[in-house]
Amino acid sequence: MDYKKTNAARTTISRDLKELADSVGGNMYELISILQSRANQIGVEIKEELIAKLDEFATPSDTLEEVFENQEQTEISRFYERLPKPTLIAIQELLEDNIYVREKIKKEEITLEKDEMDDLESEEISSEDVPSEENKDSESVNEV
């Protein structure tokens, strides 16, 4: 994605977290986790792009004493410093519904399903040992 053309705010804006949380299922902690993950992804992409551009203008120097300030590198660095922060870009993507969230199946759910299966199997076995309704009625008549 081209983060240079994003319409995300350059400064922090107060937002209604409940409204944002409703867009991802109503859980505020899930919202923060999603935004944090996406902001990390955006930050890594921007950093890799910046390093690649700075390497284009890098001048190899043999001595440590000679340090020249490269004007192109300075301009590129300033441009990237003026970009919106990754968190602000992630919030804007969420507002524009550009974030896709994959639901993970939790191990707990899987083990619960296995436990439920075991419970069902044990119930089936125990129900075979119990006499049927017809047999109970005939036994109660004989006892009287």
The pLDDT tens digits of the residues spanning 1-19 come to: 677 778 787 887 888 888 8
Which pLDDT score, from 0 to 100, does residue 64 have? 61
- Nearest partner of 6 among 79, 64, 89, judged by Cα: 89
Confidence grade of residue 105 (pLDDT, cut at 50, 70, 90) = low
What's the CA gap between 101 and 106, in Å, rounded? Answer: 15
Q: What is the pTM of this model?
A: 0.63
Is the distance from CB of 102 to CB of 79 less than 8 angstroms? no
Q: Which residues contact 7 (CB under 8 A, 6 or more apart)?
A: 92
- Tell me: the pLDDT tens digits for 43-98? 999 999 999 988 887 776 655 666 667 788 888 889 988 899 999 999 999 988 88
Residue 23: φ, ψ to 5°: -75, -15
Q: How many CB atoms lie within 10 A of CB 80?
A: 16
pLDDT grade, residue 36 (50/70/90)?
A: very high
Q: pLDDT tier at 41 (50, 70, 90 boundaries)?
A: very high
Distance CA 129, CA 110 (A): 30
